[in-house]
Amino acid sequence: MFDLKKINLGKDEAEQDERLKEYFLKTESYEKIRNGEKTIVLGRKGSGKSAIFTLLEEEYSNKGDIVIKITPDQYSWGALKDYQEQGILPEQAHTNAWKLTLLSAIVWKLNEEGKIKEDSKLKKYYEYMKDSFSPQRDNWFINLVKKVKKMLGGIKTQWLSFEDSSPTPTPLRIIGELQELIIKENCSNQNVRIIIDRLDDSWDASKESKNLLIGLLKANNQINSLLNGNLKSIIFLRSDIYDNLIFDDKDKLRQNEETLRWDNKELKEVITERVRVSLNLENMGEEEIWNTLFSDKLFRSSANVEKYIIDRTFKRPRDIISFVRFCLEIAIRNNHNKIENDDTHLAEEESYSKSKYEDLIIEYQKQIPFIQELLDSFTICMHKMSQKELLQHLELFFEGRTLKIDPRVMINILFIMGVMGVKKYGRAGVKQRGGIGFYYYYDDPSTRPLSHDEYYIHPSLRYYLNIKEKRT
């Protein structure tokens, strides 16, 4: 048996987790991202994006690569969002702004690492920019953004153009000359890695925010074509935000996308590896750790503990860590030497179900301002509803708030959020569990919910919303 009090499942914020490297699972997705094969990393909140971001920074640095970490705050986000150029579309203006920002960051970092010669024209550019790039300052990125905006706005200075200083250079000319110099003068064997995260912190779902992100994605793609693979820029972005960005050539980025998905085995490993590290269980296998931690009794639904817990997650590491942490707290409080089914039930009732409800509100309140009211409207509903019943429910909700929203569109959104799942029936040639399966977006993103007639409220929400399972 384990001493449950000694188990530490780590912190929710990957950047603050001192032992992340010890129990981080290097999945196939991680290897593709680390190798630069994939440069757009997509996933829900809690799917592991920030953990990968944190590990990549350390791993690249240990290899001797030059690492540029960018996490735009609300001030730099606002400064970039407000940028405009006369005569061109906002998307292209933001592409220019982002590209010059990233190129300027490369110049600064190369110089700080002693990779730029004293007689290089890049040195002159660095001298002009250096007041924005003090390593001692936390606000270097916003200072850089402000300087880039002045340059793109046509401020005259001898360093804006590397060839002459008489005319005010255009944004494309500045970018083109700087790009050519980086290609020409950068040490060809030096790897430069740009990693960009926390873009959703300042996201407000506005048209300007969409144009800003589209510009970044396009600039990122162009940056990655430089230096024959020695330069890689990787963006970490919430998948629901990315799905809402519609722009020309998005199809050309598909080969660069990697969506983070977790199967049941990997989710169990997230827990067992943290237990292994906490208790120094080097020689104990995954199944033995799991079976020692949890009771082997079945729940009333005949589900074992693995199915019961994972069914109440959105198939994300943060969910299962959160649930098991609550279970541990209850088991310790009840003086148990392993997590019993009653501990799991109580953890769900006291803490976990409410936490998932709150997580959904935090995650989607910018895109769906009425999300809390909508979730609350399902209180005391049945856990399963026909399409007709769900459409009527949504119609009444929108009518009562004078919202002109198509209920069918909302069904799709609820499915993508994971609030609603569908019941699928097997057919010849299609492999499904027992011929019938309950599917949520994370199980199969290609599912079209409107082609199904039965909908199920996610199990994680049922206790807090007092969802009924039998008609009275």
325, 318 Cβ separation under 8 angstroms: no
pTM confidence score: 0.89
> Average pLDDT for residues 450-470, to the nearest whole number?
94
Specify whether 341 is located in the same domain as 437: no
- Residue 28 in any domain: the answer is no
124 and 77 share one domain: yes
Residue 5 neighbours by CB distance under 10 Å = 9
Together in a domain, 349 and 408: no
At residue 226, the 3 state secondary structure works out as coil
210 and 104: one domain? Answer: yes
Span 53-80, pLDDT tens digits? 999 999 999 999 999 999 887 777 877 8
Last residue of a domain, one of 204, 230, 259: 259
| pLDDT given at position 159 | 41
Residues 283 and 295 in one domain: yes
Tokens of 266: 């990997």
- What pLDDT score was predicted for residue 456? 96
Q: How far, in Å, CA of 132 to CA of 215, rounded?
A: 22
Domain that holds residue 313: 4-8+263-364
Residues 79-128 have pLDDT tens digits of: 787 777 777 888 988 898 899 889 988 988 888 888 888 888 888 888 77
Based on the fold, state whether residues 75 and 193 are members of the same structural domain: yes
The amino acid that residue 472 corresponds to is: T
Name the pLDDT band for 315 (thresholds 50, 70, 90): very high
**Residue range 133-143: mean pLDDT, rounded:** 59
Residues 42 and 95 placed together within one structural domain of the fold: yes
Q: Is 90 exceeded by the pLDDT of residue 382?
A: yes
Same domain, 100 and 137: yes
- pLDDT at residue number 88: 84
pLDDT of 115: 86
Q: How confident is the model at residue 151 (pLDDT cuts 50, 70, 90)?
A: low
User: Is the residue at 397 inside a domain?
Assistant: yes
**Is 471 a domain residue?**
no
Dist CA 294 CA 279 (whole Å): 16
Of the three residues 317, 346, 364, the one that is the final residue of a domain is 364
Residue 71: inside a domain: yes
Total structural domains in the chain? 3
Q: Compute the average pLDDT of residues 434-446.
A: 81
The pLDDT confidence band at residue 293, using thresholds 50, 70 and 90, is very high
Rounded average pLDDT over 239-254:
93
pLDDT confidence of residue 139: 63
Q: What percent of the chain has pLDDT over 90?
A: 63
H, E, C per residue of 246-314: CCCCHHHHHHHEEECCCCHHHHHHHHHHHHHHHHCCCCCCHHHHHHHHECCCCCCCCCCHHHHHHHCCC
Residues 272 and 359 in one domain: yes
- Do 325 and 195 share a structural domain? no
Do 110 and 216 have their domain in common? yes
Residue that has been written with the tokens 């987790």 in this structure: 17
Among 259, 280, 309, identify where a domain stops.
Answer: 259
In a domain, 472, yes or no: no
Residue 151 in any domain: the answer is: yes
Does residue 310 lie within any of the structural domains?
A: yes
pLDDT digits (tens, 9 = 90+) for 160-192: 444 444 444 567 777 888 888 888 776 556 889
pLDDT of residue 178: 84
Q: Is the pLDDT of residue 427 over 80?
A: no
Query: Would residue 312 count as lying in a domain?
Result: yes
Please name which of 203, 235, 239 lies closest in space to residue 221, comparing C-alpha atoms: 235
| Nearest CA among 292, 262, 282 for reference residue 442 | 262
Is the predicted pLDDT of residue 152 greater than 70, yes or no?
Answer: no
Question: Residue 431: its pLDDT value, please?
Answer: 45
Position 160 scores a pLDDT of 42
Mean pLDDT (the chain, rounded): 88
Is pLDDT of 430 > 50? no
> Binning pLDDT at 50, 70 and 90, where does residue 426 land?
low
Query: 152 with 48, same domain?
Result: yes
